[in-house]
Structure 1
Amino acid sequence: MYKYFIGLMLCIISLTASAQKAEEEALKMQLTIPQAEEIFLQKNLTLIAEKQNIEISKAEIIQAKAWPNPEVGIEIAMYDNEDNIWFRTDREAQRVFEISQMIETAGKRKKRTNVAKIEAEISEYEFYNTLRELRTELRSELVELHYAQEKASSYLVAIEPVEKLVAVYKEQSQKGNVSKSEVVRLKALLLDARKGWLDLVQEAADIEANIKMLLNVQANVSLSITIPEFKPSESLPDPTLWATLAQDHRFDFKIENIRMKQSAESLALAKAEAVPDLHLGTMYDRRGAHQADYWAIQIAFDLPVWDRNKGGIQAAKIQQEQQQVRLNEAEKNLQIDIYTAAQKLNQVRSLYEQLDPELSAEMEEVMGAVTKSYQHKQLSLLEFIDFFESYRDNLGQWYDTEMSLFQAQENVNYTVGKDIYPI
């Protein structure tokens, strides 16, 4: 019995430890950019809300197609002054029943439906434009987080030997073998390096928070981003071709084009509103006319004397002209964006091509050798500090340049609206 109890307790402890380990592993999420994009497409709250705008627009098309409701009226005599009867309900009481239907003329309903269909198309384009903007933001944030984490790791590589030096030199200073001023200078260098590492870690935390919001994941999840080995594209920028592609793939530009079409439909609707609608109906009057049961057909329409919708037509014409100006502006902005993106990419490519791809590994190797040389008094303190700061600054600039090239290529993708440089 005792052995059975001990075995049961060990089993429970093992299961608890396994569950705790699984929970810790679940809170760590290692992602590639395609994996992050897949989660983003499924769980991003902004995209979910934008999709609902498309459904709202489709519902408004249904409403635009609907006929106006018929109008029904019932008239009951309140007081019969011949027989002095209030609210008479017998067979001799007068009753009037009317029913009428408004018939919209000049194709108003069809034109209103066309406007609603264009608005639904705009809602769909706005969804894809939001997707384009958020996906670009996500990609940039993922790469920034990756390089922030890499720079923080490189800081730790430099900080570790300095921590060991401080510990050794502190002990040697107490024995009188090393000057106290040298220990103090090393401590200051270590403090500055730790502050730099802390700044990077906090920057990474801010970026990680934005990514969590974009991916709609739990706040306590720790993200680690893996990106493939970066290889710049060999294809040269072609702004003329990109400008042509952008007109077919930029949804914000498509929206301005389709709003031009919508303004034409709105003008046609405004002109149709000037045509009077027709009201058709029938009426039954019991004991209220020259005969006991009186039936009549009713036909009515407004006389376009005072209101011919001149203001509405004029406003629609001005809106059409205004939209043409906006379309011209959008086309000009598109061309400028394309040429600016190509110019920036060329500038960053030129800088990146001057980098030595082996610089990172070489500097880490040399850093270790320099630390040993300083320990053996082959280098002065100032020479060691100079190399340490050079290592820290150059390695950070190397990562920043590589990240800038990625962002310049991604900016081209965003500006064109198409992955010219796939990830």
Structure 2
Amino acid sequence: MRIYIIGFLTFISTSLFAQDTLRLTIRQADSLFLKNNLQLLAERYQIDIAKSIEIQDKLWDNPNLSFELSAYNPSRGLFDVGRQGQKAVSIQQMITRAGKRNKQVALDVESTRKSEYQFFDLIRTLKFDLRQIFFETYFLNQTIRLLDTQIATLNTTVSAFEKEYNRNNISLKEVVRLKALLFQLTNDRADILFELSENQRDLKTYLNADLPVKPLVDSTDINRYQVKNYNPASLRDRAILSRTDLKIVQSSTKQAELNYTLQKALAVPNIQLGATYDQNSNYQSNYFGVSASVDLPFFNRNQGNIRAAKTNISYFKTEEKAKENSIGNEVDAALQKVTVAENAYKSVENHFTDQFELLNKGMYENFQKRNVTLLEFIDFIETYNESIKEFNRLQSDRIKVYEELNFVVGEELFN
């Protein structure tokens, strides 16, 4: 069973880490994400579509040209279109009133602006997810390194104890208990590899990469996340100014106001102007005339659309206020999380892992010399491994809450 599990884990580990890997710092990952992410590339097309609609609505209506030819004259035969025949030509042009076209273009411009805000909000959201996964992957890899070292050392210890058992120097109980500890460590490693496999899937998707991604993190990346004298009120104000999802709602309110103006303009009827030439069918030959037509707004004055547009303004203003309140609460909650995580991190001694590592090496040596009992050794190894795993998780969670604060404020606060 142990051979099967170790072989299975070796296969997974090889597939994840033994291939060529894409070694990236967080800055390089951000850059590659902005360049390659397919969701962002797709969203850019929405901006191009909105700009195309702007161009279309700026255009004037085309004039209408019509011809009429005499198909049959009983006294002169077919297609009597000569000097004494009949042909008529008319041309008409729609003239919009009340600035309808300019108002429609203004609405289109705001729609384009909203598409841009949606694009930047998508960047904000995906970048937040990418960074969380990036740092989580790094610290999980650190835990894997610990387990790899422990498993290798414990394998050597188990082999040595099996030899001692074969010489009848120790009991089978001690060998089996050590193998059980090795099995537990192997299972822990498998669980983390499963998490890393899912993280690799997401990282490769975000970066549109073919190779596995290996995060590179140094002390500078970790230390730049520091609590500063951020005033909650000032952070809330910055979030109100920076959050793109709020800007989307604000743009919707602006569009509702522009649409209300447009709907009122649409109540004003347009004028159709035209000119006509008629060769022989009018009261005199070679008749030239001009025409104008307009709808009479007796029944339909666009009342329903105007009322709906006005109500829509109230709806989006309420949404905007609700969003501002929500953002303030999100900033307060994120700041509290940062404080809790920072206090927890600082409560751990700076040399925690170094001291534990030295003690760990000494424990193995003393156990092999039989200066430490089996139960003391197993209890220490379990405590040591769990403590290092929790410390790595604490470091990962600390950076995650700082990134969450970045996310809810909508700015890069920790550069």
Do the two structures share a fold, i.e. TM-score over 0.5?
yes
Q: Deviation of residue 51 (structure 1)?
A: 2.0
Between the aligned partners of 2:150 and 2:20, the Cα distance in structure 1 is 29
1:247 Cα deviation after fit: 1.5
State the distance in 1 between where 2:373 and 2:206 align.
50
- Tell which deviates more after alignment, 310-319 or 183-192: 183-192
Residues 179-225 of structure 1 show CA distances to partners (whole Å, capped at 9, x for unaligned) of 1222122112111101111221221121122111111111xx23221
More off after superposition, 368-377 vs 268-277: 368-377
Q: Secondary structure at the match of 1:383?
A: helix
Q: Distance in 1 between matches of 2:45 and 2:89?
A: 44
Q: 2:197 is matched with which residue: 205, 211, 217?
A: 205
Residues 1:155 and 2:172 are matched in the alignment? no
Distance 2:314 2:397 in 1: 41
Letter paired with 1:224: K
Contiguous gaps of at least 5 residues in structure 1? 1-23
Partner residue, 1:167: 159
Aligned to 2:180: 188
- Which residue is equivalent to 2:60? 67
Aligned to 1:215: 207
Counterpart of 2:215 in structure 1 is: 225
1:120 maps onto 2:112 in alignment: yes
- Return the letter of the residue paired with 2:107: V
Query: What pairs up with 1:23-422 in 2 under 5 angstroms?
Result: 27-80=20-73, 82-83=74-75, 85-218=77-210, 221-229=211-219, 230-231=222-223, 232-422=225-415
Q: Which amino acid in structure 1 is aligned with residue 214 of structure 2?
A: S
Higher deviation after alignment, 338-347 or 270-279:
338-347
Distance 1:272 1:32 in 2: 55
Separation (CA, whole Å) in 1 of partners of 2:75 and 2:374: 123
Give the share of equivalent positions with the same residue, in percent.
28
Describe the SS at the equivalent of 1:295: strand
Deviation at 1:355, TM superposition (A): 0.9
Cα distance in 2 for partners of 1:91, 1:181 equals 122
Query: How many angstroms apart in 1 are the aligned matches of 2:197 and 2:353?
Result: 24
Contact kept, 8 Å, 1:246 with 1:416, in 2: the verdict is yes
Residue 297 of structure 1 aligns to a residue whose secondary structure is strand
8 A contact 2:70–2:81 mirrored in 1? no
Cα shift at 1:282:
0.6
**Aligned-CA RMSD value:** 1.8
| Conserved 8 A contact 2:227-2:339 | no
Aligned length: 396
Q: Distance in 1 between matches of 2:246 and 2:82?
A: 71
Q: CA deviation at 1:26?
A: 9.4
Distance 2:69 2:165 in 1: 113
Structure 2: distance between partners of 1:25 and 1:169: 31
Detail structure 1 runs of 4+ shifted over 6 Å in the superposition.
Answer: none
Provide the C-alpha distance between the structure 2 equivalents of 1:384 and 1:25, rounded to a whole number of angstroms: 33
Counterpart CA distance in 2 for 1:63 and 1:336 is 42
SS, match of residue 311 in structure 1: helix
Whether the aligned pair in 2 keeps the contact of 1:158 and 1:367 (CA below 8 Å) is no
Distance 1:399 1:33 in 2: 18
Secondary structure in structure 2 of the residue aligned to 1:72? strand
CA distance in structure 2 between the aligned counterparts of 1:58 and 1:267, rounded to whole angstroms: 21
Shift in Å at residue 356 of structure 1? 1.4
- Paired letter, 1:223: V
8 Å Cα contact 1:257-1:327 kept in structure 2: yes
Deviation at 1:316, TM superposition (A): 0.3
Distance 1:393 1:241 in 2: 40
TM-score, with length taken from structure 1? 0.89
